[in-house]
Amino acid sequence: MKVFQSRHRGLLVLALVLALLPLVLPNAFYLDVAIRIALNAIVVIALNLLMGYTGQISLGHAGFYGLGAYASAALTTHFNWPPLAALAAGALATGLLAWALARPVLKLKGHTLAMATLGLGIIISIVINNETRWTGGPDGMPVPSFALAGITVEGETSWYVVAAVLLLLMTWLALNLIDSPVGRALQAIHGSEIAARVAGVDTTRFKVRVFVLSAVVASIAGSVSAHYIGFITPGMAGFFHSIELVTMVVVGGMASVFGSIIGAALLTILPQLLQAFEGWEVVVFGVILMGTMIFLPKGLVPSIAQRLRARRK
């Protein structure tokens, strides 16, 4: 079947690219960028499930990411928790918070989730900034390395393997989800919420579930990133980071899993290129956001796919 083949094909290509990439990259710096791309991509895929497929917008996802990062950092540093337990605790707390927020808000119409996530994201970043005793405040805090059953994950190569495996896993899960009754229900909610309801879809329940799922994934990615980078700052949970994530979704392609990976790649590399030009990073982000929305509102990958399909006819 058409969908069946294309899904496996995409995953295979991704696996190949991930496997061959370390052989092509000249040094550890590039590997570091690749790891960051992979970790960002995981969040972006999850956010895309919410934005592209279910049609909701979250302006505070960095908050969840930051929660995971700081949960891991604080629990391992101040309370000597094993890293995996800290990660799980962070994910659980984030999930509960997301659920508590989403349930009352998603019953309403319009962009109420956008406003609520905006509020929550900023509250989280303010709390992180202020509670210096636990979080190190504006200066940030170091994060112990990730150790599981005595084995410590260290060095770019090991981390690359971890990141690549996690990315493949997330991609596989997302693709499965889309091509399933739940996935179709989500797309139907975006396409015509009233039609979905009439078909028996409990739209509020699904919207809440996707939101919680995407928040939990963001939290896990935040935890993993925290251990990898080794040092975290409140900016990770900040409004601009939330906007960066939204930009990655939008540029790569709403409702496109592989688009999310491309979007993450492009917009992770971009700040690296622009490091020399202080201040321009913000401008370029802004211009890219506006340009994509005006000229390629569906995002890069879906627009290219559409062009290719038109030419094939």
Partner 1 sequence: MLAQFLQFLYSGMTVGSSYALAALGFTIIYNASGVINFAQGEFIMLGGMLAALMAGAGVPMPLAIVGAVVATAVVGLAMEKAVIEPARNAQVVTLIIITIGASLTIRGLVQIWLGKATHSLAPFSGDTPIQLLGASLLPQSLWVLGVTLAVVGALAWFFGRTLLGKAMLATSHNKLAAQLVGIDTRRVLLLSFGLSALLGAVGGILVAPITYTSYDAGIMLGLKGFVAAVLGGLGGGVGAVAGGLILGVAEAMTAGYISSSYKDAVPFVLILLILFFMPRGLFGAKLSERV
Partner 2 sequence: MLTIEHLSKSFGGVHAVQDVSFAVRAGTIHSVIGPNGAGKTTLFNLVSGIYAPTSGRIILKGENVAGMAPDALARRGLSRTFQNLQVCMNMTAIDNVMVGAHLGLNQNLFASMLRLPAVRRRDAECRLEAARLMDFVGVGQYKDADASQMPYGALKRLEIARALAAEPKILLLDEPAAGLNHTETGQIEELIRKVAQSGVTVLLVEHDMKLVMNLSDQLLVLDYGKMLAVGTAAEVRANPDVIAAYLGAPA
Interface positions with partner 1 (CB under 8 A): 55, 57, 101, 104-105, 108, 111-112, 114-116, 118-120, 122-123, 126-127, 130, 194, 239, 243, 246, 250, 279-291, 293-294, 297
Choosing among partner 1, partner 2, none, which partner's interface includes residue 209 (Cβ < 5 to 8 Å by kind)? partner 2
Cα 8–chain centre separation: 22
Q: Which two tokens stand for residue 47?
A: 């956010």
Does residue 191 touch partner 2 according to CB under 8 A? yes
Measured from the CB atom, the residue of 100 and 195 that comes closer to partner 2 is: 195
Does residue 310 touch partner 2 according to CB under 8 A? no
Binding window for partner 2 (CB under 8 A); candidates: 8-16, 35-43, 151-159, 188-196: 188-196
Query: How would DSSP label each residue in 131-175?
Result: -HHHH-GGG-EE-PPPEETTEEP-HHHHHHHHHHHHHHHHHHHHH
Does residue 304 touch partner 2 according to CB under 8 A? no
Instruction: Report how far residue 37's alpha carbon sits from residue 31's, in angstroms, rounded to the nearest whole number.
Output: 10
Choosing among partner 2, partner 1, none, which partner's interface includes residue 185 (Cβ < 5 to 8 Å by kind)? partner 2
Does residue 203 touch partner 2 according to CB under 8 A? yes
Instruction: Report how far residue 250's alpha carbon sits from residue 233's, in angstroms, rounded to the nearest whole number.
Output: 25
Radius of gyration, alpha carbons of the chain: 19
Total number of residues shown for the chain: 313
Choosing among partner 1, partner 2, none, which partner's interface includes residue 140 (Cβ < 5 to 8 Å by kind)? none
Q: Which two tokens stand for residue 184?
A: 């179709």
Instruction: Report how far residue 13's alpha carbon sits from residue 234's, in angstroms, rounded to the nearest whole number.
Output: 36
Measured from the CB atom, the residue of 86 and 105 that comes closer to partner 1 is: 105
Choosing among partner 1, partner 2, none, which partner's interface includes residue 183 (Cβ < 5 to 8 Å by kind)? partner 2
Measured from the CB atom, the residue of 185 and 300 that comes closer to partner 2 is: 185
CB 34 within 8 A of CB 25: yes
CB 152 within 8 A of CB 92: no
Q: Which two tokens stand for residue 36?
A: 């960051």
Measured from the CB atom, the residue of 96 and 283 that comes closer to partner 2 is: 96
Nearest Cα neighbor of 54 from 253, 232, 211, 181 is 211
Nearest approach in angstroms of CB 283 to partner 1 is: 3
Choosing among partner 2, partner 1, none, which partner's interface includes residue 128 (Cβ < 5 to 8 Å by kind)? none
Q: 152 φ, ψ to 5°?
A: -95, 135
User: What is the binding site for partner 2 (CB under 8 A)?
Assistant: 2, 173-174, 176-177, 179-185, 187-188, 190-192, 194-203, 209, 213, 255
